[in-house]
């Protein structure tokens, strides 16, 4: 072991920094394995012939930089720094390169938001003009850190039957910012968080950035595996659980009421918080699914609720809202202010008027009628064209299907590249896992950005490549 820690010190740099940087290189170079116990403070003090405080400070720096964690009474352990996989980077670059002109030529099954053809531009333009006529310059320059008060009141009235305390509601720039703000408030370096397996890649990125220890729990047809979930809770102090309660991204699964109630009880029992991203719950196609998010059932004040208007309304307006537990009000509001001070006043006022005039409900009803046609078409094609090659769970809502390749003769990454050559784009499952290899035989296909004609054509190509 002494040969491994062969450090030649430089005079200009503090020794504890040199030691920390040296151990980082050993971890990155896999000479020290992830989870391997580091030498005791006394042992490393003797090996390097430095004082005890130097080693203590070096280990503190390793922990603060996300390269080590401590087990009480056991010692300090190496932690491999999480990095985004090369494929994830390449996939992101490829999808971002699809310009509007290119989208006309290809079949895009990767979309996560509604199609612009379903957005009433003329109607929203009238609302914007009405806001400018009514509020003048205030519509452009007014700054309200927690969000436009009338919008917050309208959200409470229109979506929550005035059940919320408006002090707990703040406007954010979409769900991603909401997750980021919540994590800054409740997740510190080396804290433990639980996510669903698979889950939204943006959430994984946030928790990795916070240098959190991420535990994954597999999904069943009505939510996470509760037995595996509680086993983690028994053995580890958990800060939060991130969940997408309706039409989960990417699986399309929605939680049963029974599981939601049980998880809320566990949150109280084991003292953790739930970050709930209520994703696409407006697009329910089955009357047996009732919209009753965790927050609605939360009698313990354990849920940080996040809702984006961008996914279902118009991505370009970048608006959403959070409902926070009273105990976290101050810290979450401070985190929001430190992030961007304020969100577009004009768009907030326009959205408030759009909702209060009843246009929001009309547009959502229209979208639901249009999307259910594509949902039924895609479901039919899956069952009739791909039945020999894939398995799936019917989401009964949302904008996509999550498919598992049955015979494992091709990975979803390989399928992605084959389809790309033929102008068809899918989302490989690896994007949604902490460790990308876990999603090798899954892929997501969305119908939000694709016409019915292109859906039929695209499925023919997918069938040919799978066969």
74 and 215 part of one domain: no
Strands 427-428 and 442-446: antiparallel
Domain containing residue 103: 86-111+361-466
Strands 303-308 and 273-277: parallel
Give the count of domains, the chain: 3
What's the whole-model pTM score? Answer: 0.80
Enter the tokens of residue 64: 């603060």
Residues 10 and 18 sit within 8 Å (Cβ to Cβ): yes
283 and 308 part of one domain: yes
133 and 200 part of one domain: yes
Burial of residue 147 (number of CB atoms within 10 Å: 0-12, 13-18, 19+): buried
DSSP assignment letter at 196 = E
Among residues 225, 317, 320, 224, which one has the least CA distance to residue 280? 320
Residues 6+ apart with CB under 8 A from 99: none
137 and 106 part of one domain: no
Enter the tokens of residue 283: 């697009």
- Domain harbouring 73, CATH code: 1.10.10.10
> One digit per residue, pLDDT tens: the chain, 467 residues?
666 787 888 877 888 888 988 898 888 788 888 888 999 999 999 888 899 999 999 998 888 777 888 776 788 888 876 555 678 888 888 888 876 667 778 999 998 766 565 677 788 889 999 999 998 988 888 778 889 999 999 999 999 999 999 999 999 988 899 999 999 999 988 899 999 999 988 898 899 888 898 999 999 999 999 999 999 999 999 999 999 999 999 999 999 999 999 999 999 999 999 999 998 999 999 999 999 999 999 999 999 999 998 877 766 678 999 999 998 888 888 888 777 666 778 889 999 999 999 999 998 999 999 999 999 999 999 999 999 999 999 999 999 999 999 988 889 999 999 999 999 999 999 889 876 567 889 999 999 889 999 999 999 999 999 98
Strand order in the sheet with 442-446: 390-392, 400-405, 442-446, 427-428
Residues 151 and 306 sit within 8 Å (Cβ to Cβ): no
442 and 308 part of one domain: no
415 and 327 part of one domain: no
């Amino acid at each position: 072991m002494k040969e491994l820690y062969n450090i030649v010190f430089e005079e200009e740099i503090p020794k504890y920094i040199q030691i920390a940087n040296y151990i980082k290189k050993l971890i990155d170079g896999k000479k020290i394995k992830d989870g391997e116990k580091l030498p005791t403070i006394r042992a490393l003090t003797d090996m390097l012939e430095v004082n005890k405080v130097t080693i203590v400070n070096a280990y503190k720096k390793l922990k603060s930089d996300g390269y080590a964690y401590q087990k009480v009474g056991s010692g300090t352990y190496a932690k491999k720094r999480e990095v985004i996989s090369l494929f994830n980077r390449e996939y992101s670059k490829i999808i971002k390169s699809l310009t509007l002109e290119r989208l006309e030529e290809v079949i895009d099954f990767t979309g996560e938001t509604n199609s612009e053809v379903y957005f009433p531009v003329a109607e929203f333009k009238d609302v914007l003009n009405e806001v400018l006529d009514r509020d003048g310059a205030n519509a452009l320059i007014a700054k309200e850190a927690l969000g436009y008060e009338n919008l917050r009141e309208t959200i409470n009235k229109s979506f929550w039957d005035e059940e919320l305390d408006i002090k707990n509601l703040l406007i954010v720039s979409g769900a991603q910012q909401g997750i980021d703000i919540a994590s800054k408030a409740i997740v510190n370096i080396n804290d433990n968080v639980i996510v669903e397996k698979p889950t939204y890649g943006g959430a994984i990125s946030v928790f990795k950035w916070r240098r959190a220890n991420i535990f994954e729990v597999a999904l069943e047809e009505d939510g996470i595996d509760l037995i595996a979930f509680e086993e983690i809770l028994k053995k580890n102090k958990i800060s939060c659980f991130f969940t997408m309660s309706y039409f989960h991204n990417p699986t399309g699964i929605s939680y049963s009421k029974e599981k939601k109630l049980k998880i809320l009880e566990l949150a109280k029992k084991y003292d953790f918080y739930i970050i709930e991203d209520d994703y696409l719950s407006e697009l329910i196609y089955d009357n047996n699914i009732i919209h009753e998010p965790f927050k609605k059932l939360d009698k313990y004040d354990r849920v940080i609720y996040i809702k984006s208007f961008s996914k279902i309304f118009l991505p370009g307006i970048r608006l959403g809202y959070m409902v926070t537990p009273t105990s976290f009000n101050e810290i979450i509001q401070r985190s929001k202010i430190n992030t961007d001070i304020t969100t577009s006043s004009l768009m907030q006022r326009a959205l408030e008027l759009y909702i209060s005039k009843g246009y929001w409900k009309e547009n959502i009803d229209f979208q639901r009628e249009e999307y259910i046609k594509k949902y039924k078409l895609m479901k039919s094609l899956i069952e009739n064209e791909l039945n020999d090659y894939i398995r799936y769970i019917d989401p009964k809502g949302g904008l996509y299907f999550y498919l598992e390749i049955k015979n494992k003769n091709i990975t979803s990454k390989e399928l992605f590249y084959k389809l790309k050559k033929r102008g068809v784009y899918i989302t490989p499952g690896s994007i949604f896992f902490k460790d990308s290899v876990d999603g090798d035989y899954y892929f997501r296909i969305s119908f939000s950005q694709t016409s019915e004609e292109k859906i039929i054509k695209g499925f023919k190509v997918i069938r040919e490549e799978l066969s």
